[in-house]
Chain A
Amino acid sequence: MKFLPTLLLTFLYCLGYGQQYTLSGYVKDASSGEGLIGVSVFVEELGQGTTTNVYGFYSLTLNQGSYKVKYSYVGYKDFFEDAILNTNVRKNIDLSESDDLLQEVVVEAEQSDENTKGTQMGKIDLNIDKIKTIPAFMGEVDVLKTIQFLPGVQSGGEGNTGFYVRGGGPDQNLILLDEATVYNASHLFGFFSVFNADAIKNVSLTKGGMPANYGGRLASVLDITMKDGNYKSFHADGGIGLIASRLTLQGPIKEDTASFILSGRRTYIDVLTRPLIPDTSAFSGSGYFFYDLTAKLNWRLSDKDRLFLSGYFGRDVFTFNNADLDFTFNVPWGNSTASLRWNHLFNDRLFVNTSAVFTDYNFAFEGGSSGFTFRLSSGIRDGNLKQDFTYYPNSLHNVKFGWNYTLHRFIPSSLGASSGDVEFDTGEDVKIFGNEAAIYLLDEWDVSENFKINAGFRLSMYQHVGPFTRYYKNPNSGVTDSTTVYGDFESVKTYYGPEPRFSARYLLKDNSSFKFGIAHNYQYIHLASISSVSLPTDLWFPSTELVKPQIGTQYSMGYFKNFFDNKYEGSVEVYYKDLQNLIEYKENSFPEDNLSNNVDNQLTFGRGYSYGAEFFLKKRVGDFNGWVGYTWSKTMRQFDEIDDGGWFPAKYDRRHDLSVVLQYQLSERVNIGGVFIYATGNSLTLPERRWFSLEENRLITVWSDRNAYRLDPYHRMDLSVTVDAKSTKKQVDKDSGKVNMVKKKVISSWNFSVYNLYNRANPYFIFFDYSGDPLQGSVEFGANQVSLFPILPSITWNFKF
């Protein structure tokens, strides 16, 4: 172990060779000063280049000489700069937005040939400013809903923002907001995500094998970066929609040095429904609302140091009152995150980001009636420290290494109850503490002109520490037979996870490539749902001596081709994923079973696999552009304690998934967007038999094997029209009387959208009922399908100044 730093430095030194100098700097938006992510920095004569990182920093080490460097980014004018490299050169570049009327494809922020030339398979970068023309549910642009239009990413169903990537569960997606983990990215039971698009700069989804700098989840990483805030002038953005409104304020604290951005959103569903519930009604006081607040401060301390402080706070509150029955309950839940990050440049080739992050997610259910009160809550709190180094030894290598530590505190289930003055003995709140850590090293290496690899290794670890009490329950009586008590910081169980990652790209000929990847991942944090629908009652809990880490190995390969001078891009990717130590609740588990018990005593464990093929064709430019994505996939699970150990389809096993997203720039000010999606129906467990309990006078259902049946397919079409208001107005010059056209201060647009254009009644859930009178001896049984959203028009007015 002692020689590891020496070995590392030697390795890094060897990567840098010859008389070379480094061109480095930051690339920013000329009007706002925001760092731009993924800008191509390219020297055509050498055929070498790099891209800016998530902070807008780039570093390119070349042989001594003079070069013409091209800086290019979608939506911005190309910028050329002469660089004389006889010493290390720092060049900070400002790029201006393009005036080109050609409508760039709405969601890609990458360089035009990234499809074929990048090693990273299954990675998509979304440009937030461009997705606002895609039809959105109730006019609310939603990042999580947008990624579900991509192949390999499946929706959780109507009204559900949870998403499934290549057969992985919703807990297998790592969602980061400025490096803070977001545990529940949903409002209103999944109808909206917690992300306010106005405050977001970049969204990057990695669904193929994730590189070694990411870990902790098996299926994907959704990395969301907030805007920094305009460094040059004050601006406001906002929108007024049918059910929610939002406002974003940003501006300089000190021009070109420090900035802020503050963004808020609130729904007014409670205001809309209040007239339906008069004050005299027994239900007065009932209602629902959610809000989000996002804030960020940035400070450029020096040419080498930058500081960022960002935070998110969001809440959903649902309240129900019935005064007649003296019954009330309310359900608050939400996330809070805070990140403090420090960028430091050691030199032109070595960049480091150091982060301290706090995350808190909690959910509570509080109710009471006639002096009886009840409270159930669940939460998770993380404190995280990490350092990520990026070393650019030369133009052929891009090395990343770093470490990551998180202290977790879980409260999977906290229960309290009282009747009058009597406080029921609900036991102490069970808190579970854990240390999670990782170190990694990866290199993105241009082995030859055609062959590029991204090879890395991550070593992760999870340690469950006390205080903790392990309950050993008698299965016949439910009584605690014995306990084992662990003291503060005492180790209960430790797991180690070696995680090799490898991906490669071989350029076959111009504009096509073959890519291949293997990724081995460990996941130490898990989500279990008691119900069949994703709810905030889902419990997050860590690995313990009973709960082993989930392990996933994904093999993927793909063929990528661009056509017609990169105007079209297409790809075919196939994957196979093996999953171990999957988790489900045992059947007939109830929340109160966690009382004086361990949550993991209610769990059962199994395995699974998933495989599929993803087809993608996109037209990147032109007035008419968009994409078609189709996925064929199969996802299966097996648990010894479920269905006698037989294999069954996962809840989200979806054989076919098709998305068509199109846009047409009708004129300079009018854009039309359309979406069509089709998906195989969700798998379903049906009642196959029944018996009549004469002791209870009840019909008892006997269910089929799990998920043995299918709902009807889901499909719908959405349409939207975005009309930009005129950006200029006439102004008469007082002196000359001449009429000039001047730019308006407030730029606005109207968005008209129709969700579910042909009013398809897509299945939301099925319930079973009977009709007839048992006393008359004639009863018929049937199934009823409930659908959620019919054709729904909406109007949103967006503005900025």
Chain B
Amino acid sequence: MKKFFYILCVLLLINCQKEIEFDLPDVEQTFVLEAVVESGLPPRVIVTNTQGYFDPLDSNSFLNMFVDNAMVELHDGDTTFELVYSFVNSNGVILPGYTSFDPEIIGQYGKNYTLHVQVGDKEAHAKAQIPHPVILDSLWFFAYEAYDSLGFIWAKFTDPDTVGNCYRWFAQRINSYTYNYDPPFDNVKGTMKDNRPLAPIGSSTDDKLFNGLSFDFAVPRGEDGILEGPDDQGPERGFYKRGDTVLVKSTTTTYPTYLYVRAMENQAVSNGSIFSSPGNLPYNVEGDGLGVFIGYGVSYDTLICE
């Protein structure tokens, strides 16, 4: 009875939450660029349209958001390449976008790239760079006693003694589920756990805190954006499991990318928080459109969690 009374008090103190509607005026939509150049891969540029915030998202609106008539050019400091509308490989996921099959355009360390996009009478441009990679010293898995076989990946890393290095972490479990979960995940057995390298919240950093230092750090398991997997709920959320085989994609990147990723992740986690502040992301695309042009210098490692 006492517990009920206290719970009632707590519930009363947080009054209520209700859905409300806003009558938003029609707002002009614009196009958005998501462009990535990374070492060892051809460039990929996905061009979509913005939509009204409260417009429903269904298969029709999803298909209609792609822009297939843009003129896209990429300059690597020496040559300008025209990118064609095709299918692009975004970390193992195939998506409609712009790319080039010219082997000369494969991303190389140290190169500076300029992107120019024209959609109708609107144009946008941006710059990116592929920095040289910094290799991790070592990787290991550490399970927490309280959680049996669950834990984080730990890494040892030495930052070069030059200020201004920026990094981003991705990791992909390339092993398969060995059992099914509750519906709707009752058919996952035998499928690869992550279909692409995923970045956890807090995946990007600059070296302000650790310039020139050698140190250990732990990284939780990331989720695939708003797509929740079978183990993204409950006690396994954020953890790796003993027996996982993890492909770690550690990247170097640039300061504008770090600022964009930081703001993008902050926007994702602060939804629903009274302490958040509405603000548009620091896009590095200039001109008529929105968006971001990112460069990654990539190195890969594989870790078996045991």
- A residues lining the B interface (CB < 8 Å): 272-273, 275-276, 324, 326, 370, 372, 417, 419-420, 422, 424-426, 476-480, 530-533, 535, 587-588, 590, 592, 595-596, 685-704, 709, 712, 761, 764-770, 772-775, 777-790, 792
Contacts and interface: CB of A to CB of B under 8 A. Distances in A.
B225 A709 contact: no
Contacts of A478: 164, 206, 208, 255, 258-259
Given A275-B2, A709-B22, A785 B51 contact: no
Contacts of A779: 56-58
B277 A693 contact: no
**What class of interface size applies to chain B in its complex with A?**
35 or more
B276 A531 contact: yes
A784 B19 contact: yes
A417 B15 CA distance: 37
Interface in B258-306: 258-259, 262-264, 266-268, 271-282, 290, 294
B50 A777 contact: no
A140 to B, nearest CB: 15
A480 B163 contact: yes
A588 B18 contact: no
B20 A784 contact: yes
B12 A419 contact: no
A590 B262 contact: yes
B280 A691 contact: no
A533 B274 CA distance: 7
B14 A788 contact: yes
5 tightest Cβ-Cβ pairs between the two chains A and B: A697-B225, A777-B59, A587-B279, A479-B164, A767-B272
Given A476-B255, A531-B276, A688 B225 contact: no
B46 interface: yes
A790 B11 CA distance: 10
Interface stretch (B24-32, B73-81, B100-108, B241-249): B24-32
Contact of A767 (B46, B55, B256, B273): B273
B271 A769 contact: yes
Contact of B65 (A692, A764, A766): A692
B210 interface: yes
Contact of A698 (B48, B208, B215, B226): B226
A786 B274 CA distance: 10
A358 to B, nearest CB: 31
B19 A782 contact: yes
Nearest to A426: B209
Contacts of B24: 686, 688
A553 B233 CA distance: 57
B10 A702 contact: no
B50 A691 contact: yes
Given A419-B217, A785-B17, 19 more contacts: A272-B6, A275-B2, A276-B10, A419-B216, A425-B210, A587-B282, A692-B62, A694-B46, A701-B267, A702-B53, A702-B280, A761-B16, A765-B274, A774-B227, A779-B57, A786-B16, A789-B15, A790-B16, A792-B12
A695 B34 contact: yes
Contact of B6 (A276, A420, A788): A276
B210 A424 contact: yes
Contact of B275 (A426, A535, A709, A780): A535
A530 B3 contact: no
A773 to B, nearest CB: 8
B16 A787 contact: yes
A373 to B, nearest CB: 12
